[in-house]
Amino acid sequence: MIDMIKTPTVQQEGAIQFEYLPDGRGLLRPHVLIVCEGCSKEALVRADGSRRFCSKSCSTLIQHAEGRSRQLSGIEHYAWKGANAQYQALHMRVARARGRADHCEWRATAGCKSRKLEWSHVHETDPSVPQNYRSLCKTCHQRYDSQTGADHANAKLTALQVELIRQRYKAGGTSQQALADEYGVSQSAISRITRRRHYR
């Protein structure tokens, strides 16, 4: 049935929008927009998969982190799941209400060049309201967050993000500053995390 669709197309089924895109063998398969549980980026993934991750590497990292979280006490596990679920839910709400971030609202004045576009929470507003997000490029988003102290939903790192930061730093190839930029925190915060101070 699915394979009979010959050109990329979009089909709506309730709240879920399927985009038919070619898979590795050139067959059109339904894809859905998700927010990756690992890196929190939006991604179009195969609808017949787990719909949780943007890539194999995010999947591997999280499966590993989840293995660890199962060893936590009941209440810790609950908190770990809850923080992550809440963060995902906020992002999905914005994506559902407004689609994907498709331009940088500050481009004309900022002269920025990044083609990575993201919803950026307007600080000191309710993060559960989709209108309280701006469409910005990654550069402007990070600059805004670091200037204003990053109070948005992502500011306080979840246990999952802390785990990912540790693993990525340990694996090598990613500097503390790069991780700090990516997660919108200071390099000293990353340093503390990798030395296992402050964060559990």
Among 31, 91, 152, 166, binds Zn ion (CB under 5 A): 152
Nearest-approach distance from CB 162 to Zn ion, in angstroms = 16
Nearest-approach distance from CB 15 to Zn ion, in angstroms = 22
Among 28, 34, 54, 185, binds Zn ion (CB under 5 A): 54
Matching residue, tokens 């939903």: 153
- Using rule CB under 5 A, residue 58 touches Zn ion: yes
Nearest-approach distance from CB 29 to Zn ion, in angstroms = 19
- List C-alpha distances in Å: 146 to 45, 51, 178, 182, 197: 31, 31, 13, 11, 22
- List C-alpha distances in Å: 2 to 10, 12, 21: 12, 14, 11
- Using rule CB under 5 A, residue 39 touches Zn ion: yes
Burial letters for 111-138: b for 16+ Cβ neighbours within 10 Å, e otherwise? ebebeebbbbbebeeebeeeebbbbbbb
d(C-alpha 132, C-alpha 158), whole Å: 21
Of 28 and 138, nearer to Zn ion (C-beta) is 138
Q: Which residues pair with 19 in a beta bridge?
A: 10, 31
Nearest-approach distance from CB 39 to Zn ion, in angstroms = 3
Contact code string over 111-150 relative to Zn ion, x by CB under 5 A = -x-------x----------------x--x----x-----
Of 28 and 181, nearer to Zn ion (C-beta) is 181
- Using rule CB under 5 A, residue 42 touches Zn ion: no
Of 45 and 159, nearer to Zn ion (C-beta) is 45
Report CA 14 to chain centroid distance, whole Å: 24
Nearest-approach distance from CB 128 to Zn ion, in angstroms = 15
Contact 121, 144 (CB under 8 A): no
Residues that bind Zn ion (CB under 5 A): 36, 38-39, 54, 58, 104, 106, 110, 112, 120, 137, 140, 145, 152
